[in-house]
Amino acid sequence: MTGTFFWQGRRVPFGEGQTLAAALLAAGLRDLGGPDGRPARIFCGIGACQACAVTVEGLGVVEACLTPAVDGMRLGPAMTGDDHV
Amino acid sequence: MHSRSSPHVVVVGAGIVGAAAAFFLEAAGARVTLVEAEAPAAGATGASDGAVSVASKRPGPMMALALEARAFYRELAARGVLEGLFHPRSTFLLARGDEEASLLERHGADLAAAGERVVARSAVDLRRLLPGLGASVTAGIEVPDDGHAIGYEITARFLARSRPALRRATPVRALKLRGDRVAGVVTAQGEIAADRVIVAAGIGSAVLIGLGDVLVPRKGQMAVTDRAQPSGPAIGGHLMAATYLAAKRGISLDKPHIGLVIDPLVTGQFLIGGSREENRSDRRTDAATIAAILREALDFYPPLAGRRVIRTFAGIRTACRDGLPIVGPHPAVDGLVVATGFEGDGICLGPLMGACAARLALGEAPATDVSVLSPRRFAVREVAQ
Amino acid sequence: MSDAPVLVVGAGPAGLGAALALAQAGVPVVLTEQRDAIGGAIHRQPASPQVPKVLRPARHARSFAMLAAGLAAAGGRIDLRTSTVFLGLDGADNALIDDRRRQRVEALSPAGIILATGAVEKVHPFPGWELPGVMTAGGAQVLLKETGRAPDGPVLVAGSGPLLLAVAAQLAAAGNPPVAVLERGRPWRRPTALAAMLASPANVAEGVGYAARLLRHGVPYVTGAAVTAVRTQGDDLDVMVRHGAAERTYRVRHLLVHDGLRAGASTGITETRDGPVPVLLAGDGREILGADAAVADGRRAAAEMLALLGRGAASAGDEQTLGAARRFQAALARLCEAPPPSPPPETLVCRCEGLRVADLDHLRPDASMRELRLVGRFGMGPCQGRFCGASVAALRPDADPSLKASAVPRWPVRPVSLASLAGFGDPAARTNPRIHQDTEDR
Ligand SMILES: Cc1cc2nc3c(=O)[nH]c(=O)nc-3n(C[C@H](O)[C@H](O)[C@H](O)COP(=O)(O)OP(=O)(O)OC[C@H]3O[C@@H](n4cnc5c(N)ncnc54)[C@H](O)[C@@H]3O)c2cc1C
Ligand SMILES: Cc1cc2nc3c(=O)[nH]c(=O)nc-3n(C[C@H](O)[C@H](O)[C@H](O)COP(=O)(O)OP(=O)(O)OC[C@H]3O[C@@H](n4cnc5c(N)ncnc54)[C@H](O)[C@@H]3O)c2cc1C
Ligand code: FES
């Protein structure tokens, strides 16, 4: 599937079969941290470091590097909860 | 510092009680060796919640002791010893349905009679104070003067502020007696002579003190979530199901029982518990029990659905058959003091009970009357020696 | 003899090798993979057929083609569950899996488990390693394989080990040659190690190919150079580097770091042969032997599992391959051996919990590993110490490791949705996990 998802309301296009991580990086969105300043970013790419955790509406907190992008998905920093995505 | 005549006290067990005892012994001028089978807080202290709660106590001696123990936390925090480690916060006891509401009403009256501040809360109040609260909660009471403390943090602080000789990985196998008097402890790595001994070894105390099978392990499983927010408790208090009180009030525990508590930690995480599994002393957790706990938790507080569980753990509560801790001089052995059997209350009671045990070991009367907890209430069997 | 399946976790070369060998022996297999496609770290597949292929040796493509064909031929004997994360073994000996598609945690009762969950990259901490723009080299590489796109802007590759070379060459081939590759070690000064590697011509040829590619693109390969700190500079990073007595700063968009691979950190679970459910490790998760040996190690684990379950005899056919790989990896390790600069107090050690070197210094000097973890909170966050665990061990070499965090096996080995876990065993939401045919796998 190709399409668009939303990072804190901002449109992020993605290519077929891409993970959230790949699409976020391609869009230049490197800093996935919340308002707290705790660093969050794609780091290990294999689900191990948990630094890429994001909140996806309907899914909860997931690793961006493991989660396939789906058209219309709404996401934001891990700690802010569903209402801030 | 220590005079040559200051007694050497061996404390067996570096949980919250043993660490507190070591601290207060040193403060009183004793020389202390703290002998620990594994590492500090390796037992229940490092695998528990940390409600410093009067709200959850049975009326009677436990409620009275908890009131003193909680005041002692405030005092130690103010004195600097436990500065920054005691976190005041309300306990909310929550009912689902009329039967539970009337249990809470009774319990609220008991608390008030003991001198505790209690505020009755309607469902509407509760939803305002605790946004997100589940629809099944119908009523509750708020106990505003409770608090929270993390067992291993308290233990580490006592050890940092007193620096007793600490022997890790040194299980005590038996006590060394000379006539009717304790003369030290026997460990896998040899004997350690002592003038006095305090056994504060949690469930490990049972085999050492020869009081028969008065102590039972009661396993508790818990789950820890990721952070709901960067720091600070994510909800305005500690949530406790009315059915938790039922567990505390000694309802039949033949099958695993779940008494739900949801604890918002200062890290922004939640600690969710717990089961009471009679006679289980393994420390493994199982998905069926954890899932049952989490379903209860979601019923009380649905926003938890957005969290992730990052860890599960089990701790072993040391329960005494008659429901009271055991604190006091051993009935048959001079110089031996016992402090164990704190079941699900040892974080709350630990500092105070450690202080009492220290005084008793030095032959002094403790500031709190703990005679009701004396091991003299049991017949002596065989002391391990 | 029961016909319970063997659970194989991880569909990289080791897991695929194990699953195929088991299936060949007539044993049913459940193969779980956290990603939505098979391949593992080395064979991470392009997200779509349109994605340009990343530079890699032909033998890797062949090896993967064989594994994929084997999987297709195994048909129903291998029940492949993608987007399914293994969570560990619980106290009731359930193998717990988290089906991310259906948002359900389920239990399998396998006859045995082979964990082929791969390696985790080592990263020695330095001030700023936690900043956006700093990634592991392997992490950048798997994303490159997935998208065919190199990260934009100037890239610096730094750390230690042969993967630096591979990633740099792949970046160059994808159109963005890194500004430099900084190798902390001094491989040219280890002639015996270099010589020992000649025993593995395929690997040497691969390395030479990458080096040639870098040469062609004019990418400097600097040895004896180490990153000491990173700072953000607008959208860029200023990377401070020490090279002998000299210091210099690189201004880049991305810093890719990597200090080798670590076995065992992926799940933290150790092998058990005598429990009710035997657990074996295979591939880089057991021992770093490289991609070629991973398939053989998967077969070896499968043979041992068959023997343990009384369903076949262990074969030693792969021992030679594994021995050669072991010698090669040992030589590689010697080749690039170089201690990292010791991190200053402000260096973040545990990202999840926000803990620094200074926080470690505040803990009792005699603290055991257990206390460092429990009291210090190092490794208590969502990553469960996969990265900081080793840093703490290096910074506190005297801490008693026998007093580890816990004597009991822990689960979940990965964070799991609370809602999914709450649904476990709920009669209201029960499906039969064993007979789940309609996989939506690609
Ligand atoms: C799941 C759970 C939740 C809980 N929640 C709360 C709560 O919210 N509030 C509260 O107040 N309490 C709570 N508790 C209870 C509390 O944790 C305990 O009562 C308290 O930690 C007991 O402390 P202790 O020092 O007596 O025992 P422990 O912490 O068990 O310490 C005993 C120590 O002795 C050592 N030891 C044992 N045998 C030997 C030996 N032979 N030689 C040398 N050393 C030995 C052990 O290794 C251990 O370190 C909870 C308990 C559990 C399990
Ligand atoms: C990021 C990275 C990049 C690498 N790049 C190269 C390279 O370019 N060249 C080279 O020679 N070697 C490379 N290596 C080493 C290489 O991975 C191995 O030699 C080879 O791939 C090992 O195969 P494996 O099957 O043991 O592990 P992997 O290939 O890592 O496979 C492990 C599989 O398990 C899955 N998994 C992990 N945990 C779970 C879980 N809890 N539940 C379900 N599934 C899980 C993973 O998604 C993965 O698919 C790299 C390693 C890493 C970590
Ligand atoms: S980048 Fe490490 S878990 Fe996703």
Higher pLDDT, B255 or C90: C90
Looking at domain B1-88+146-213+321-385, does it have CATH number 3.50.50.60? yes
Residue C366 banded pLDDT, cuts 50, 70, 90: confident
Q: Which residues of C touch A65 (CB under 8 A)?
A: 139, 143
| Ligand positioned closest to the Cα atom of C139 | 2
CB-CB under 8 Å, C412 with B312 = yes
Is residue C115 within 6 Å of ligand 2 at its C-beta? no
CB-CB under 8 Å, C426 with B291 = yes
Which three-class secondary structure state does DSSP give residue B5? coil
Q: Which residue of B has its CA nearest to A80?
A: B229
What local confidence, expressed as pLDDT, does residue C264 receive? 84
**What are the domain boundaries of chain B?**
1-88+146-213+321-385, 90-144+216-320
Contacts of C307 (CB under 8 A, 6+ apart): C313, C314
B220 - beta bridge partners? B315
Q: What are the tokens at B140?
A: 């509750």
What is the mean pLDDT of the segment spanning C119-134? Answer: 96
Is residue C139 within 6 Å of ligand 2 at its C-beta? yes
Which three-class secondary structure state does DSSP give residue B117? coil
SS (H, E, C) chain C: CCCCCEEEECCCHHHHHHHHHHHHCCCCEEEECCCCCCCCCCCCCCCCCCCCCCCCCHHHHHHHHHHHHHHHHHHHHEEEECCEEEEEECCCCCEEEEECCCCEEEEECCCEEEECCCCEECCCCCCCCCCCCEEEHHHHHHHHHHHCCCCCCCEEEEECCHHHHHHHHHHHHCCCCCCEEEECCCHHHCHHHHHHHCCCHHHHHHHHHHHHHHHHCCCCEEECEEEEEEEEECCEEEEEEEECCEEEEEEECEEEEECCEECCCCCCCCCECCCCCCEEECHHHCCCCCHHHHHHHHHHHHHHHHHHCCCCCCCCCCHHHHHHHHHHHHHHHHHCCCCCCCCCCCCEEECCCCEEHHHHHCCCCCCCHHHHHHCCCCCCCCCCCCCHHHHHHHHCCCCCCCCCCCCCCCCCCCCEEHHHHHCCCCHHHCCCCCCCCCCCCC
CA end-to-end span of chain C? 34
**Is the pLDDT confidence value at B308 over 70?**
yes
What local confidence, expressed as pLDDT, does residue C435 receive? 28
The answer to whether position A85 is within a domain reads: no
Q: How far is CA B322 from CA B315, B326, B343, B370, in A?
A: 21, 10, 11, 15
What local confidence, expressed as pLDDT, does residue C437 receive? 30
**Ligand 2 atom nearest C121 alpha carbon:** 53
What is the mean pLDDT of the segment spanning B315-331? Answer: 96
CB-CB under 8 Å, C416 with B308 = yes
Q: Which residues of C touch A33 (CB under 8 A)?
A: 132
CB-CB under 8 Å, A41 with C132 = yes
The answer to whether position A65 is within a domain reads: yes
Q: How far is CA C136 from CA A39, C255, C256, in A?
A: 15, 8, 5
The β-bridge relationship of strands B87-88 and A60-63 is unpaired
Select the residue of B268, B306, B308 nearest A82 (Cβ to Cβ). Answer: B306
What local confidence, expressed as pLDDT, does residue C430 receive? 44
Contact B186, B174 (CB under 8 A): yes
What local confidence, expressed as pLDDT, does residue C442 receive? 31
**Ligand 3 atom nearest A41 alpha carbon:** 1
Q: Which domain holds residue A53?
A: 3-80
A17-31 in b/e form (b: 16+ CB < 10 A) is bbbbbbbbbbeebbe
Q: How many CB atoms lie within 10 A of CB C77?
A: 17
CATH of region C6-119+263-310: 3.50.50.60
Which three-class secondary structure state does DSSP give residue B279? coil
**What are the domain boundaries of chain C?**
6-119+263-310, 121-260, 348-408
Q: What is the ipTM of this complex?
A: 0.94
* Cα C30 to Cα C38: distance, rounded to the nearest angstrom: 13
Contact C6, C27 (CB under 8 A): yes
Determine whether B64 is exposed, middle or buried from the number of CB atoms within 10 Å of its CB (0-12, 13-18, 19+).
middle
Mean predicted lDDT score pLDDT of chain A: 89
* Cα C242 to Cα C224: distance, rounded to the nearest angstrom: 8
Q: Which residue of B has its CA nearest to A59?
A: B306
What local confidence, expressed as pLDDT, does residue A39 receive? 78
Maximum mean pLDDT: which of B59-73, C358-372, C416-430: B59-73
Q: Which residue of A has its CA nearest to B268?
A: A79
What local confidence, expressed as pLDDT, does residue B245 receive? 83
Residue B304 to chain A, least CA–CA distance (Å):
10
Select the residue of A38, A53, A81 nearest B306 (Cβ to Cβ). Answer: A81
Residue B104 to chain C, least CA–CA distance (Å):
27
What is the per-residue pLDDT across B238-259, written as a single tens digit (0 to 9) for each?
999 998 887 666 554 445 588 9
Q: Which residues line ligand 1 (CB under 6 A)?
A: B 12-18, 35-38, 42-45, 47-51, 151, 171-172, 200-202, 204, 220, 222, 273-274, 315-317, 340, 342, 344-348, 350
Residue C433 banded pLDDT, cuts 50, 70, 90: very low
Give ∠ CA B313-B316-B320 in degrees, rounded to 5. 155
SS (H, E, C) C397-410: CCCCCCCCCCCCCC
Residue A61 to chain C, least CA–CA distance (Å):
7
Which three-class secondary structure state does DSSP give residue B32? strand
**Is the pLDDT confidence value at B20 over 50?**
yes
Q: Does B301 touch chain C (CB under 8 A)?
A: no
Residue B121 banded pLDDT, cuts 50, 70, 90: very high
What is the mean pLDDT of the segment spanning C327-338? Answer: 90
The 8-class DSSP code of residue B29 comes to T
Contact B280, B216 (CB under 8 A): no
**Ligand 1 atom nearest B173 alpha carbon:** 41
What local confidence, expressed as pLDDT, does residue C436 receive? 30
Provide the CATH topology of domain C121-260.
FAD/NAD(P)-binding domain (3.50.50)
Q: Mark which residues 20-49 of B lie under 8 Å from C by CB.
A: 38-42, 46
Mutate to test the interface with C, among A16, A41, A43 (most CBs of C within 10 A): A43
Q: What are the tokens at A83?
A: 């209402």
Please give the distance, rounded to the nearest whole angstrom, from the Cα atom of residue B66 to the centre of ligand 1: 17
**Is the pLDDT confidence value at B365 over 90?**
yes
Q: Tokens 């569980």 appear where?
A: B309
* Cα A68 to Cα C33: distance, rounded to the nearest angstrom: 14
Q: Which residue of C has its CA nearest to A66?
A: C35
Q: Which residues of A touch C417 (CB under 8 A)?
A: 59-62
* Cα C339 to Cα C388: distance, rounded to the nearest angstrom: 17
Determine whether B3 is exposed, middle or buried from the number of CB atoms within 10 Å of its CB (0-12, 13-18, 19+).
exposed
Residue C99 to chain B, least CA–CA distance (Å):
14
What local confidence, expressed as pLDDT, does residue C317 receive? 77
A77 - beta bridge partners? A54
What local confidence, expressed as pLDDT, does residue C374 receive? 87
What local confidence, expressed as pLDDT, does residue C318 receive? 85
CB-CB under 8 Å, B308 with A61 = yes
What local confidence, expressed as pLDDT, does residue C402 receive? 65
CB-CB under 8 Å, A60 with B226 = no
**Is the pLDDT confidence value at A85 over 50?**
no
What local confidence, expressed as pLDDT, does residue B4 receive? 56
* Cα B336 to Cα B199: distance, rounded to the nearest angstrom: 8
What is the per-residue pLDDT across C165-175, written as a single tens digit (0 to 9) for each?
999 999 999 99
What is the per-residue pLDDT across C11-41, written as a single tens digit (0 to 9) for each?
999 999 999 999 999 999 999 999 999 999 9
Q: Which residues of C touch B291 (CB under 8 A)?
A: 105, 421-426
Q: Tokens 């005549």 appear where?
A: B5
Q: Which residues line ligand 3 (CB under 6 A)?
A: A 42-45, 47-52, 63-65; C 139
CB-CB under 8 Å, A60 with C120 = no
Q: Which residues of C touch B308 (CB under 8 A)?
A: 382, 415-418
Helix C13-24 vs helix C58-74: crossing angle, to nearest 10: 40
Q: In what order do the strands lie in the sheet containing C84-89? A: C84-89, C95-99, C104-108
Select the residue of A34, A53, A60 nearest B230 (Cβ to Cβ). Answer: A34
What is the per-residue pLDDT across A13-65, written as a single tens digit (0 to 9) for each?
999 999 999 999 999 999 998 766 677 899 999 999 999 999 999 899 999 99
What local confidence, expressed as pLDDT, does residue C429 receive? 59
CB-CB under 8 Å, B230 with A81 = no
Q: Which residues of B touch A35 (CB under 8 A)?
A: 230
Residues C71, C73, C77, C83, CA torsion sign = positive
Residue C406 banded pLDDT, cuts 50, 70, 90: low
Which chains does A contact via 3+ CB–CB distances below 8 A?
A: B, C
* Cα C127 to Cα C344: distance, rounded to the nearest angstrom: 7
Q: How far is CA B189 from CA B43, B172, C172, C366, in A?
A: 21, 9, 61, 19
CB-CB under 8 Å, C371 with B169 = no
Residue C2 banded pLDDT, cuts 50, 70, 90: low
Residue A20 to chain B, least CA–CA distance (Å):
19
Total domains present in chain A: 1
CB-CB under 8 Å, A50 with C381 = yes
Residue A59 to chain B, least CA–CA distance (Å):
8
C126 — alpha (psi -120 to 50), left (phi > 0) or beta?
Answer: beta
Please give the distance, rounded to the nearest whole angstrom, from the Cα atom of residue B38 to the centre of ligand 1: 13
The β-bridge relationship of strands C416-417 and B308-320 is antiparallel
What is the per-residue pLDDT across B37-51, written as a single tens digit (0 to 9) for each?
999 999 999 999 999
Is residue C30 within 6 Å of ligand 2 at its C-beta? no
Name the residue at shortest CA distance from atom 26 of ligand 1: B202
CB-CB under 8 Å, B226 with A38 = no
Residue B137 to chain C, least CA–CA distance (Å):
19
Looking at domain B90-144+216-320, does it have CATH number 3.40.50.300? no
Mean predicted lDDT score pLDDT of chain C: 91
**Ligand 1 atom nearest B348 alpha carbon:** 11
Is residue C32 within 6 Å of ligand 2 at its C-beta? yes
The 8-class DSSP code of residue B7 comes to P
What is the per-residue pLDDT across B52-86, written as a single tens digit (0 to 9) for each?
999 999 999 999 999 999 999 999 999 999 999 99
% pLDDT > 90, chain B: 90
CATH of the domain at A17: 3.10.20.740
**Ligand 3 atom nearest C383 alpha carbon:** 3
Mutate to test the interface with B, among C108, C375, C380 (most CBs of B within 10 A): C375
